[in-house]
Amino acid sequence: MKYWVILLSVFGIDRISKNWVQKKLSLGSRKEVWKDRLYFRHIKNKGMAYNTLEENPKAVLRMTGILMGIGFLQFLRLLHQKKSPALLTSLACMLGGALGNFWERANTGWVTDFLYIPFRKAPIFNVADIAIVLGGICTIPFAWLAERSNVKEM
């Protein structure tokens, strides 16, 4: 149950933050949050990171839907096995973020991005993107550790 709460919390925080940005910042605007370190920049992203595939939003929607479906199946399998709380937590974060972006993309045709850290060619991103990236980074070692513990049990 707690993993569903994590997943839905990430989704909810993402939706709330995007709604706030849409109401408070005009499209294309830029507002400094932390001097020279963090800005709000309201953009519509019709593609993926760096607007990749923006000319084909239906392909982006299909691709992310398929990947999200695979992720949900893996999540349900691990929930059923009741193993690796760390891995389940990281997957719940990833899926909550993926659901947030997928939901918006399916309903509007784009994703609202608004967080910008001026560093080299850093993308403008959102709360869902943070959850996806951090969950993905954590998933790798947690999956490896879970697999190692399964081998030792045999």
Residues labelled as active-site residues: 113, 129
Task: Report residue 145 as tokens.
Answer: 């550790």
Q: Alpha-carbon distance 86 to 90, whole Å?
A: 6
Task: Report residue 99 as tokens.
Answer: 């659901």
Residue 7's identity, in one-letter code, is L
Going by C-alpha positions, the residue among 109, 80, 90, 135 that lies closest to residue 101 is 109
Task: Give the chain's length.
Answer: 154
SS3 23: helix
